[in-house]
Structure 1
Amino acid sequence: MSWIEKLKNRWGVKNGWQVLVILLVFACTGFTVMYTKRWVSQWLRIESTWAIWLFNILVILPLYQVILLVYGWLFGQFAFFWAFEQKMFRRLINLFSRNHS
């Protein structure tokens, strides 16, 4: 089984082209966030390690989610990425709501 077939089955999509479009959306989102992060952190003159971490968690992480949905919409895969976001947030909420006793 090829890697495209594995992703197609894992993501529940119809064909290999849809897998490639989804991978393209992830790539475009990553590049956009990378350049945006670099530009904004230079503009704000963020240099200390703790400030970079705080900036990444509070600004870049939510920005990534929004940009992912925008690119998903532009490439005609909004439904996939909306379901992807909802699944990710459910897992995140479950991670923090578990009883750690």
Structure 2
Amino acid sequence: MDDLKRRWGIETNFQLTIIFIVFAITGSTSAWLSKPVCFWLGITKGDLGYLFTPIRLLLIFPLYQVLLVAIGFVFGQFKFFWAFEKKMLKRMGFNFLFKE
């Protein structure tokens, strides 16, 4: 745990616990919200068959990104999650989104 705290620049176990809680809540919430979002967009398993799951996973991704920063903000960890988000998106090739 000390290595993870050092790599993420975290000083206390409490902050690390809060960050783990935010990751857990965000993952569960984005998976839970993907069902109504698919319904709202008219994406059904009956129409798409085996393509439904990959499409649903693609929908979860942007939902997860937004929720991660929002839930991190609610838990007082906006600075950490905003930096985490920028780093992850830059690694995925979305550098153009962040002009620094």
Q: CA deviation at 1:73?
A: 0.2
Q: Which runs of 5+ in 2 are unaligned?
A: 95-100
Q: Does 1:46 align with 2:44?
A: yes
Contact 2:30–2:60 (Cα < 8 Å) also in 1: yes
Residue equivalent to 1:98: none
Give the alignment of 1:4-19 within 5 angstroms. 5-19=2-16
What SS does the aligned partner of 1:93 have? Answer: coil
Q: CA deviation at 1:19?
A: 0.5
TM-score (norm 2): 0.78
Aligned residues: 90
TM-score (norm 1): 0.77
Residue equivalent to 2:76: 76
**Hey, what's the Cα distance between the residues in 2 that align with 1:54 and 1:17?**
37
Contact 1:69–1:78 (Cα < 8 Å) also in 2: yes
Contact 1:46–1:52 (Cα < 8 Å) also in 2: no
Q: CA deviation at 1:42?
A: 5.6
**Hey, what's the Cα distance between the residues in 2 that align with 1:85 and 1:35?**
21
Q: CA deviation at 1:45?
A: 5.5
Give the alignment of 1:26-65 within 5 angstroms. 26-41=23-38, 44=42, 46-47=44-45, 48-57=49-58, 59-65=59-65
Q: CA deviation at 1:65?
A: 0.2
